[in-house]
Amino acid sequence: MSEFLAELIKALTLQAGYNTSLVLVGAALLGGAAGGIGVFVLLRKRSLVSDAISHATLPGVVLAFMLASYFFDDGRALWALLIGAAFSAVLGALAVEWIVRYTRLKEDAAIGTVLSTFFALGIVLLTLVQSVYQGGQAGLSDFILGSTAGLLYQDALLIAVSAFVVGLVLIFKFKELTLLCFDITFAKAQGYNVASLDRLLLFLLLAVVVIGLKTVGLVLVIALTIIPPVAARFWTERVSHMVLIATFIGALGSWFGAALSSVATDLPTGGLIVLTLFSIFLISLLVAPKRGALAHALRHKLFQRRVHERQGLLAISRAEPVFDPLTQKILRKKRFLRADGAVTEEGHQAAQKMARDQVLWNAYHQAYPIEALALEDWSLRPIEEVIPKDLVEELSEELMLTKVRLVQ
């Protein structure tokens, strides 16, 4: 076990040899680019389309292999396979668009149809190729589940260049892409060419999917564009930060996953990368400070306790009995109630204070309805803690005056 860890650390710190380092750097660049572009794909609600695109690459890969082995006698030339992949992916994307536009089918049905048909065609062609070409096609099936074993310097360079281009476009088209994702009619009305922006987004996605095919495989490459942005969304409320965080998560997860696979050589790279990304997603889901599940549960619990304590004390101030078991428990814990349910001296005092606080809150709500609406803590915390002191004084003076008037 400790040997495994030692080797993993060696790989992670790029001390496990040239090949492993190349794979790690390549995977991280790919993961970063996929995470960055994935943010816009997610916000444009196109994550499923990318699934169709990645599955649609397979027939192109196999056909390109057949053509290349016929014409150049070298079926495994990577550039030929990638061009083939891109070509059939574009066909797949167009097919989805065509079905949605000219039939009554919804996008999800169109995606399901296109995805499975293209993949089926790819599998049939692949089996055909395997029986005809025997040894020459070895490695072709790597495109399905991915393998980093054969990653060459040129492959890594291709990934680096593509990642750089994707990064540049994201920086220079950030405003336009954000607008496209948030409010497409507004973007159109401003005169932006939304169709070409959509095409740009699709093109970037395509580029990432195609260069990621060999490393992660077509089944899992889609996870690189979906999981990092979804995880990043837990940590931020801004698009720009989300892009940075998703890029970081994508790169980190791919780096770590690739390092794992270099140590556990019999496990598939793509699967390890995706599982690593999923762990990051799970951590984000749980512990993110604002949108995370734990923070949410904690906030809800606190809120519930506040409401119960407040309502219980207000009931006491009106000399009404407290029936709710949770309210009773909370009041007892604070020693406002005795075990037999009788109100303690502290309880009476706290109830008095709470009643006064509530009257002030109500007065505030009447005097400043808009501001009260905007407050998240309206009538939940003591009013002095939430609004300025002079305003509280002003409110209580006004209350005294109305009381006097009422008495007269």
Partner 1 sequence: MSALSKQSLIDETGFISSKVAFDVSGLTVAYDRKPVLWDVSFQAHSGRITAIVGPNGAGKSTFLKASLGLVPAVTGQTFILGEALKEARKNIAYMPQRASVDWDFPASALDVVMMGLYGRMGFLRWPSQHHREQALSCLDQVDMADFAERQIGQLSGGQQQRVFMARALAQEAEVYLMDEPFAGVDAATENVIFKTLKALTAEGKTVIVVHHDLDTVRKMFDDVLLINRQVIANGPIDDVMSDEALRRTYSGRLGFHKAGEPVGGAAVQAHV
User: Could you list the residues that contact partner 1 (CB under 8 A)?
Assistant: 43, 45, 172, 174-176, 178-179, 181-183, 185-186, 188-191, 233, 236-239, 241-242, 369-370, 373-374
Query: What CA–CA distance (Å, rounded) separates 180 from 44?
Result: 7
Least distance (Å) from partner 1 to the CB of residue 240? 9
Least distance (Å) from partner 1 to the CB of residue 1? 41
Least distance (Å) from partner 1 to the CB of residue 178? 8
CB nearer partner 1, residue 71 or residue 182: 182
CB nearer partner 1, residue 67 or residue 179: 179
Least distance (Å) from partner 1 to the CB of residue 183? 5
Least distance (Å) from partner 1 to the CB of residue 373? 6
Least distance (Å) from partner 1 to the CB of residue 337? 36
CB nearer partner 1, residue 74 or residue 183: 183
CB nearer partner 1, residue 45 or residue 403: 45
Cβ–Cβ under 8 Å, residues 348 and 338: no
Least distance (Å) from partner 1 to the CB of residue 368? 10
Least distance (Å) from partner 1 to the CB of residue 93? 22
Query: What CA–CA distance (Å, rounded) separates 403 from 394?
Result: 14
Neighbours of 115 (CB within 10 A): 21
CB nearer partner 1, residue 17 or residue 369: 369
Query: What CA–CA distance (Å, rounded) separates 146 from 387?
Result: 59
Query: What CA–CA distance (Å, rounded) separates 372 from 1?
Result: 59
CB nearer partner 1, residue 14 or residue 239: 239
CB nearer partner 1, residue 240 or residue 352: 240
Least distance (Å) from partner 1 to the CB of residue 186? 6
CB nearer partner 1, residue 235 or residue 256: 235
Cβ–Cβ under 8 Å, residues 261 and 20: no
CB nearer partner 1, residue 40 or residue 87: 40
CB nearer partner 1, residue 199 or residue 238: 238
- Contact partners, residue 5, CB within 8 Å, separation at least 6: none
Q: What are the two backbone dihedrals, phi and then psi, of residue 196, each rounded to the nearest 5 degrees? A: -75, -30
CB nearer partner 1, residue 13 or residue 190: 190
Cβ–Cβ under 8 Å, residues 240 and 36: no
Least distance (Å) from partner 1 to the CB of residue 365? 13
Least distance (Å) from partner 1 to the CB of residue 38? 14
Q: Which residue has the tokens 């793509």?
A: 270
